Amino acid sequence: EDQVTQSPEALRLQEGESSSLNCSYTVSGLRGLFWYRQDPGKGPEFLFTLYSAGEEKEKERLKATLTKKESFLHITAPKPEDSATYLCAVQAGGANSKLTFGKGITLSVRP
């Protein structure tokens, strides 16, 4: 059974204090690993998809990396508007296989 574990459960940062969010996964045949951002009362917003170990993607203050066992979402010099819940999900198997989500990491950035 596919499993996704995110840590820490919650993270509080000072504005400008860089950090990383971890997503550990166990799947048979990774098809893709997804990062989403979710604000309260809204649907998840797509951030990145990573397909193979060693791949990295960046967007503004965010950088996602992938190994065979885990993915990191690095946040550089965060701002209060980066406060949200960050969800990691994996897709394994065939093209129409479902996503398996972690429980999410709630990030709070204080001004």
Partner 1 sequence: GAVVSQHPSRVICKSGTSVKIECRSLDFQATTMFWYRQFPKQSLMLMATSNEGSKATYEQGVEKDKFLINHASLTLSTLTVTSAHPEDSSFYICSARDWSGGAGKETQYFGPGTRLLVL
Nearest CB to partner 1, comparing residues 28 and 95: 95
CA 29, 33, 39: angle at the middle one, nearest 5?
150
Q: How far is the CB of 66 from partner 1 (least distance, A)?
A: 15
Cβ–Cβ < 8 Å for 10, 105 = yes
Q: How far is the CB of 47 from partner 1 (least distance, A)?
A: 9
Nearest CB to partner 1, comparing residues 32 and 79: 32
Any residues with CB less than 8 A from the CB of 8 and at least 6 apart, and which?
21, 22, 105
Residue 53: burial class (beta carbons within 10 Å; 0-12, 13-18, 19+) = middle
Any residues with CB less than 8 A from the CB of 16 and at least 6 apart, and which?
77, 78
Q: How far is the CB of 16 from partner 1 (least distance, A)?
A: 27
Nearest CB to partner 1, comparing residues 42 and 111: 42
Instruction: Give the Cα separation of 26 and 69 in Å (integer).
Output: 7
Nearest CB to partner 1, comparing residues 41 and 111: 41
**Contact footprint for partner 1 (CB under 8 A):** 31-32, 34, 36, 41-46, 49, 51, 87, 91, 95-96, 98-99, 101-104
Q: How far is the CB of 63 from partner 1 (least distance, A)?
A: 18
